[in-house]
Amino acid sequence: MRRAGPLISMTAIAAIAWSSSSFAAEATPTEKDALVAARAVRLSEKLRCLVCQNQTIADSNAELAQDLRRQIHEQIAAGKTDDEIVAYMVARYGDFVLYQPPVKSTTMLLWAGPALLLIGGFAGLVHLVRARRTEAETPPLTDEERDRAARLLGGDGGKDLA
């Protein structure tokens, strides 16, 4: 229990600091507007524009993107959370609107793919290196082979070569 003490008080301080900072931000209207704008930008950077598919709603100037930015602003003003706004977009346009696809059974390969490729590649590399190493280690000559080599090299077991 004693050990948990500092941790609890630190969490409490952090929580108070966090909440008071958010209260402070909401106190003055100009800062609140800035917060709303920042939230809207952050959200629209997560969402894909379906008209020009390689741009986010934040980047795109397509009319649909403008309309969707307006929707985001309105929903923030209406007090919706980020998750609720994202869910609103997904309900209408599907997971495709999310730049970061959700982890689901259908997207498992997408998420696990890079890791699987890395593991596969590493396994392949290890296999290759091991194969090379056994190839490089030439087995010692048998007595028969040594005799034959000696004969070829000069007849008397190659001793005078040494």
Contact residues toward another protein (CB under 8 A) are 50-51, 53, 63-64, 67-68, 71, 90-96
Give min distance, CB of 37 to another protein, in A: 21
Please tell me the distance from the alpha carbon of residue 101 to that of residue 118, in angstroms, as a whole number.
21
Give min distance, CB of 45 to another protein, in A: 18
Nearer to another protein, 120 or 154 (CB): 120
Nearest to 63 by CA among 53, 83, 74, 49: 49
Give min distance, CB of 93 to another protein, in A: 5
Give min distance, CB of 63 to another protein, in A: 7
For residues 100, 54, 106 and 84, what is the CA-based torsion angle, rounded to 10 degrees?
A: 50
* Type of residue found at 123: A
Give min distance, CB of 145 to another protein, in A: 25
Please provide residue 156's backbone torsions phi and psi, each rounded to the nearest 5 degrees.
-105, 45
Nearer to another protein, 25 or 125 (CB): 125
Nearer to another protein, 15 or 51 (CB): 51
Q: Given the structure tokens 């969707």, which residue do they identify?
A: 68
Please tell me the distance from the alpha carbon of residue 126 to that of residue 162, in angstroms, as a whole number.
40
Nearer to another protein, 63 or 144 (CB): 63
Give residue 129's region: left, alpha or beta (phi > 0; psi -120 to 50).
Answer: alpha
Nearer to another protein, 124 or 154 (CB): 124
Task: Give the H/E segment covering residue 87.
Answer: helix 82-93
